[in-house]
Amino acid sequence: MKAVIIGAGLGGMLAGAKLTKAGHDVEIFERLPFVGGRFTNLLYKGFKLSTGALHMIPHGSRGPLAQMLKEVGADVTIIDSDPMAVIRKENGEIIFFHDFRNELTLTKQVKLGTVLVYSLKFKPKSEISFRDWVFKYFEDEFLFKLADSFCGWALSLTAKDVPAREMLEIIDNMYLYKGSGIPIGGCGAVTDALSKIIRSNGGRIYTQSCVEKIVIENEMTKGVMVQGKTIDTDIVISDIGHFETSRLYECKDRVYLDKISNVKPSKGIKICLCADEPLIGHSGVFFTPYAQRINGINEVTNADPSLAPPGKHLVMSHQAIISDDLNEEINLGLLDLQQLFPGKKYEVLLIQSYSNGWPVNRASSGSDNGNKTSITNLYIVGDGAKGKGGIEVEGVALGVRNAMGEIGVC
Ligand SMILES: Cc1cc2nc3c(=O)[nH]c(=O)nc-3n(C[C@H](O)[C@H](O)[C@H](O)COP(=O)(O)OP(=O)(O)OC[C@H]3O[C@@H](n4cnc5c(N)ncnc54)[C@H](O)[C@@H]3O)c2cc1C
C-alpha cells in the first residue's frame, strides 16, 4: 500500500514509522525546512529550546508514546520525573502532588475518594465542565485553583473549558500510566529518532514541500498535489487537523463540516528562563495554582543537563491564554515569575505564544473528532485527532494507534 502523509509533526512521523515498519511505501511532505513540527528543538544561545513542547512526555517511560516508540524501534531514552510533581501553596510552601488531599478537611477527603471511585467508573454523560463537576461536589477554593493549574499546564485550558468526561479519562490514564518524563536530548530527539526509523525502512521525507491539494475522485483520495505535481497514493494521512485538511479538497459533507468547524484550538504562552542556580531543583512539574497566570513550570536540565550550556539551567513556564490582550498576558506571566522566585537570579531567554495555525493543541482536549473523515481513505492524526484521555503527545500516540486500527495496520 502506498501512503502519503501531510506534515512531519509527531503525529505524521509516528504514523510514518508504523506504516514503514509494516512494509508500506510512505512519502511524507512537510512545508517547513525541518521535521518535527511543534515537537522539535530550537537551538538558541547554546540552549535546546523548542518549537512548541516543554520537553515533557506526560506519562514518561510507561505511557502510550513511549510504548509506540519502542514498537517502532525508535532509540529514545525517557527519564521519569522524580518527584512526578509538586504544588506551591498560597503561603509559598511546597507539597508533593499526591498530598493535595491533605489540604482538604477530613469530610472532603472522604467524599473525594468516594466521588472519584464512582465517577471514574460511571463517567458523566452530560456536557458538564470539569470546573462545574468539581463545584457540584466540593465548594473548595484550593481544588478550583488546582484544577485550573493542572488543566492550564497539561491542556492549556481552564477547568471550565474541559469536559468533566475527558478529565476523568485523563485521571484514569494517570492512574494507569503514572507521571511524566523527559526525553534525553529534548523533544527533538524523539522526532529525529522517528525520522531515522522511517528513512531506514525506505520511507521518504521531503521538507519545504507544501501539500496544496488533496485529489479526490468519487469520494476517494487518489493523490496529493505538491508544487504543482500530482503524487498518486492509496491513502492519505493528514497531520494538520480536520479543518485545515478539509480546506485542501472540496468537502461536500455539510454535517462533517459543521462538526469540525466548531473545534477550537487551545492557546498558550511559554517563557524560557536561564538560571545559574536551580530555581526548582528537580525534574517534576511545579504547579502554581496561586499565580495570576502561570499554571506550571519545569526545569528540564535536572533530568538532562545537555539541554543547556554547562552549569546553566533551563526553566520553562507555561500559561493558558485567558484574555485577548497578548501583551498583558505576557506581562502577568513575567510578574508571576518574579513573585514565584523572589530574589533569585534568572534571565528571560525567549517568550513564545501559540494560537491559530500554530497552537498548543489543534483540537482542545475533549473536542477531538476521531481519525476518520467523510472521505474513505483520508485519515487525520496528530493533536487535532487525539485518543480519549490522552494528554498532548500521549493523545497523539493514542490517536495514531486508533488510525492504524482503522487502516488495518497493527
Ligand atoms: C507551548 C507548548 C507547550 C507544549 N508542551 C508539551 C509538552 O511538554 N508535552 C507534550 O506532550 N505536548 C506538549 N505540547 C503539545 C505538543 O507539542 C503537540 O501536541 C504536538 O507537537 C503536535 O504534533 P502534531 O504532529 O499533531 O502537529 P504539528 O507538530 O503541528 O505537525 C504538523 C506539521 O504539518 C506541517 N504542515 C502544515 N500544513 C502543511 C501542508 N499543507 N503541507 C505539508 N505540511 C504541512 C506543519 O508545518 C507541521 O510541521 C506543547 C505545545 C505547545 C505549543
CB atoms inside a 10 Å sphere around CB 325: 11
Q: How far is the CA of 360 from the centre of ligand 1 (A)?
A: 7
- Looking at the fold, whether 328 and 203 belong to one and the same domain comes out as no
Cα–Cα nearest to 163, from 17, 269, 264, 259 = 264
**Tally of structural domains, the chain:** 3
Type of residue numbered 406: E
Cβ(372)–Cβ(361) under 8 Å?
A: no
Task: Assess if residue 93 is contained within a domain.
Answer: no
Q: What is the DSSP letter of 234?
A: S
Please identify, among 119, 152, 177, the residue that sits at the C-terminal boundary of a domain: 177
Q: At 118, list the grid cell.
A: 464512582
Does residue 88 lie within any of the structural domains?
no
Q: Is the CB of 400 under 6 A from ligand 1?
A: no
- Name residues whose C-beta falls within 8 Å of residue 263's C-beta, 6 or more positions apart in sequence: 241, 242, 243, 362, 363, 364, 367, 368, 369, 384
- Residues 314 and 392 placed together within one structural domain of the fold: no
Q: Which pLDDT does position 380 carry in this prediction?
A: 98
| pLDDT value, residue 410 | 82
Beta strands, E only, 196-312 = 204-206, 211-217, 220-226, 229-232, 235-238, 268-275, 285-287, 296-299
Taking the centre of ligand 1 as the mean of its atom positions, its distance from the CA of residue 159, in whole angstroms, is 23
Which of the residues in the chain have pLDDT under 70? none
Q: The domain that contains 295 carries what CATH number?
A: 3.90.660.50
* Residue 272 shares a structural domain with residue 249: no
Reported as a single tens digit per residue, the pLDDT across 152-180 is: 999 999 999 999 999 999 999 999 999 89
Domain identity same for 258 and 367: yes
**124 plus 252 within the same structural domain:** no
How far apart are the CA of 211 and the centre of ligand 1, in A? 17
32 CA: nearest ligand 1 atom: 47
Query: What is the distance between the alpha carbons of residues 64 and 55, in angstroms, rounded to a whole number?
Result: 16
Strand-strand pairing, 313-320 and 296-299: antiparallel
Position 84 in a domain: no
Q: How far is the CA of 396 from the centre of ligand 1 (A)?
A: 10
pLDDT of the residue at 127: 87
pLDDT at 126: 81
C-beta 226 within 6 A of ligand 1: no
Residue among 239, 326, 394 whose CB has most ligand 1 atoms within 8 A, to mutate: 239
Which residue, 134, 138, 137, is CA-closest to 151? Answer: 134
Decide: 11 in ligand 1 pocket, CB within 6 A.
Answer: yes
Regarding whether 189 and 171 lie in a shared domain, the answer is no
Question: In degrees, to the nearest 5, what angle opens at C-alpha 34 toward C-alphas 313 and 265?
Answer: 80
CATH value at residue 227: 3.50.50.60
Last residue of a domain, one of 157, 177, 197: 177
Whether ligand 1 lies within 6 angstroms of the CB of 39 is answered as yes
Question: pLDDT tens across 105-152, in order?
Answer: 999 999 999 999 999 999 888 889 999 999 999 989 999 999 999 999
Contact 90, 290 (CB under 8 A): yes
Q: Is 401 domain-assigned?
A: yes
Q: Domain range for residue 316? A: 268-354
Residue nearest to atom 49 of ligand 1 (CA): 37
